[in-house]
């Protein structure tokens, strides 16, 4: 492709990056994001799991080059999601960037559309990203997933637990050479029923995503769990315990070790025992849909996530056919639940509902008023459970 710039004709190429471009690509996105948001922003520090040289970030990017120089890119990072014994092939989109002098040339749109084409060709089930809702709606993304956000305060804990409540739990920062503790975290993580792939050899880099710190919970030097938080422990983005019964001790230990008199915890609704406990003792809490997502295989995604939901809560019996005009093509899907047994399959039957792609995402994944206008039994089984922890985001 050639593009005219003044009296010059520039050679423009768009395609996958190569590992020899790692440093150039990261330098470019550092410059773009620093000028946009934070003068000191650095992807090496913020997301070491993606941008360290050994992970070859350029090969995971669709890049635009003018005369061989990178002028724009979209990162496309594949990661499988294991849900009970089933899997979803997922991808995260990140570092969407165009250099300031090249904005308005359509480079972002070209890269995004190539990323969508690649995911559909590779039979990706679901893709997620963090970004502006309306901006990414052009590319089939909509807000979805559910996070339960709790505000915990010292004053509240005094009333909830009694002013004299103490704990023998201790908290300390995880260091990269804490091999045994990393092994314990990995063992605990892979026991979870909803988890993205986190290879053991990259675990520390993954846990430290977005410049967060990892804290281990110990009782008499015995590993009891971990949490991921901002440096000052003001916001907890992930909490995993060997025994959820220890949550009271964990909260007390967090408050005792924090510089703040309060903090926030964000959890998925399917961490059921923790969510129920925190909803009783928190000063306040609310639900949010923070992730943008798109689905390219609705049948498989619905099946996996409905089966997962049936594993931790009772679902109403339903029997519906839904025609979804998806980004990757039409899917006429029959959804049946009887005695908590979920069946989802393609059918030629006449649909009860017909949904456009974005409408389907809002209904299936969102905290949406669309549920008001559908039958109560179908409404009761929605939204589908989906959550991306900070450590898994790109």
**What is the rounded distance in angstroms from the CA atom of residue 200 to the CA atom of residue 89?**
19
Residue with tokens 């905290």: 367
Tally of CB atoms within 10 A around 186: 15
Q: What is the pLDDT of residue 4?
A: 55
Q: What is the pLDDT of residue 38?
A: 64
The encoded tokens of residue 148 equal 């339960």
Of the candidates 212, 288, 275, which has an alpha carbon nearest to the alpha carbon of residue 241?
275
**CATH of the domain spanning 291-385:** 3.30.1050
Question: Are 182 and 174 spatial neighbours (Cβ–Cβ below 8 Å)?
Answer: yes
Q: What is the pLDDT of residue 266?
A: 96
Same fold flag, 148-288 and 291-385: no
**What is the rounded distance in angstroms from the CA atom of residue 179 to the CA atom of residue 182?**
5
Q: Average pLDDT by consecutive 10-residue portion of the chain (394 residues)?
A: 59 96 97 75 94 98 97 98 98 97 96 98 98 96 96 87 86 97 99 98 97 96 96 88 97 86 93 97 93 98 99 97 98 99 99 97 90 91 96 96
Q: What angle (nearest 5°) sits at the alpha carbon of residue 325, between those of residues 113 and 367?
A: 90
Assign domain 148-288 to its CATH superfamily. Answer: Gcn5-related N-acetyltransferase (GNAT) (3.40.630.30)
Q: What is the pLDDT of residues 326-344, one digit of tens each?
A: 999 999 999 999 999 999 9
Of the candidates 249, 315, 256, 313, which has an alpha carbon nearest to the alpha carbon of residue 277?
249
| Domain range 2-124, CATH architecture | 3-Layer(aba) Sandwich (3.40)
Sequence-ordered list of residues with C-beta below 8 angstroms from that of 124, at least 6 positions apart, any chain? 78, 89, 90, 91, 296, 297
Write down the H helix ranges in the chain.
22-36, 43-46, 48-51, 107-121, 133-137, 154-161, 179-189, 203-207, 247-257, 272-281, 298-312, 357-365, 376-380
**What is the rounded distance in angstroms from the CA atom of residue 216 to the CA atom of residue 85?**
28
| Region of residue 77 (left: phi > 0; alpha: psi -120 to 50; beta: else) | beta
Tally of CB atoms within 10 A around 279: 11
User: Residue 105 to residues 3, 37, 66, 99, 278: CA-CA distances in angstroms?
Assistant: 10, 22, 12, 11, 49
**What is the rounded distance in angstroms from the CA atom of residue 63 to the CA atom of residue 225?**
40
**What is the rounded distance in angstroms from the CA atom of residue 84 to the CA atom of residue 93?**
25
Write down the H helix ranges in 203-246.
203-207
User: Residue 81 to residues 4, 92, 127, 386: CA-CA distances in angstroms?
Assistant: 44, 11, 11, 10
Of the candidates 373, 375, 300, 388, which has an alpha carbon nearest to the alpha carbon of residue 342?
300
Of the candidates 203, 273, 278, 217, which has an alpha carbon nearest to the alpha carbon of residue 245?
273
Q: What is the pLDDT of residue 157?
A: 83
Question: Are 233 and 240 spatial neighbours (Cβ–Cβ below 8 Å)?
Answer: no
Cis amide prior to 383 (ω within 30 degrees)? yes
**Beta strands 69-83 and 86-98: pairing type?**
antiparallel
**What is the rounded distance in angstroms from the CA atom of residue 48 to the CA atom of residue 210?**
9
**Beta strands 318-326 and 353-356: pairing type?**
parallel
Sequence-ordered list of residues with C-beta below 8 angstroms from that of 123, at least 6 positions apart, any chain? 89, 296, 297
The encoded tokens of residue 277 equal 């406990």
Task: Spell out the domain ranges in the chain.
Answer: 2-124, 148-288, 291-385
Question: Are 326 and 187 spatial neighbours (Cβ–Cβ below 8 Å)?
Answer: no
Residue with tokens 């594993």: 311
Q: What is the pLDDT of residues 100-159, one digit of tens each?
A: 999 999 999 999 999 999 999 999 999 999 999 999 999 999 999 999 999 999 888 888
Q: What is the pLDDT of residue 290?
A: 84
| Count of alpha carbons within 13 angstroms of residue 300, beta-carbon side | 15
């Amino acid at each position: 492709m050639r593009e005219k710039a003044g009296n010059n004709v520039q050679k423009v190429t768009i395609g996958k990056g190569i590992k020899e471009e790692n440093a150039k690509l990261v330098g470019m996105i550092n410059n773009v994001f620093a000028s946009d948001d934070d003068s000191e922003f650095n992807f090496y520090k913020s997301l070491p799991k993606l941008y360290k040289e050994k992970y070859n970030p350029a090969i995971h990017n669709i890049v635009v080059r003018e005369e061989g120089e990178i002028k724009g890119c979209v990162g496309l990072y594949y990661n499988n999601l294991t849900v009970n014994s089933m899997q979803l092939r997922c991808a995260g989109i990140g570092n969407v960037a165009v250099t300031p002098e090249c904005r308005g040339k359509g480079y972002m749109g070209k890269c995004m559309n190539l990323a969508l084409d690649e995911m559909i060709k590779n039979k990706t089930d679901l893709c997620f990203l963090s970004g502006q809702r309306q901006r990414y709606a052009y590319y089939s993304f909509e807000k979805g997933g559910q996070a339960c956000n709790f505000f915990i305060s010292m004053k509240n804990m005094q009333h909830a637990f009694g002013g004299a409540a103490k704990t023998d739990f201790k908290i300390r920062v995880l260091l990269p050479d804490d091999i045994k503790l990393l092994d314990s975290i990995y063992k605990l993580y892979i026991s979870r029923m909803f988890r993205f792939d986190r290879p053991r050899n990259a675990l520390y880099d993954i846990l430290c995503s977005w410049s967060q710190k990892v804290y281990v919970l110990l009782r008499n030097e015995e590993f009891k769990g971990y949490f991921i938080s901002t440096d000052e422990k003001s916001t907890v983005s992930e909490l995993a315990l060997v025994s959820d019964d220890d949550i009271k001790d964990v909260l007390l230990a967090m408050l005792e070790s924090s510089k703040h008199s309060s903090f926030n915890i964000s959890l998925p609704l399917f961490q059921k025992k923790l969510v129920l406990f925190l909803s009783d003792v928190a000063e306040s809490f609310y639900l949010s849909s923070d992730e943008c997502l798109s689905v390219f295989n609705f049948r498989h995604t619905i099946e996996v996530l409905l089966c997962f939901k049936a594993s931790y809560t009772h679902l109403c019996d339903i029997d519906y056919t839904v025609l979804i005009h998806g980004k990757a093509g039409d899917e006429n899907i029959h959804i049946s639940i009887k005695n908590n047994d979920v069946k989802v399959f393609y059918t030629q039957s006449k649909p009860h509902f017909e949904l456009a792609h974005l409408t389907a995402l809002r209904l299936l994944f969102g905290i949406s008023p669309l549920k008001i206008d559908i039958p109560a039994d179908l409404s009761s089984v929605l939204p589908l459970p989906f959550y991306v922890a900070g450590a898994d985001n790109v």
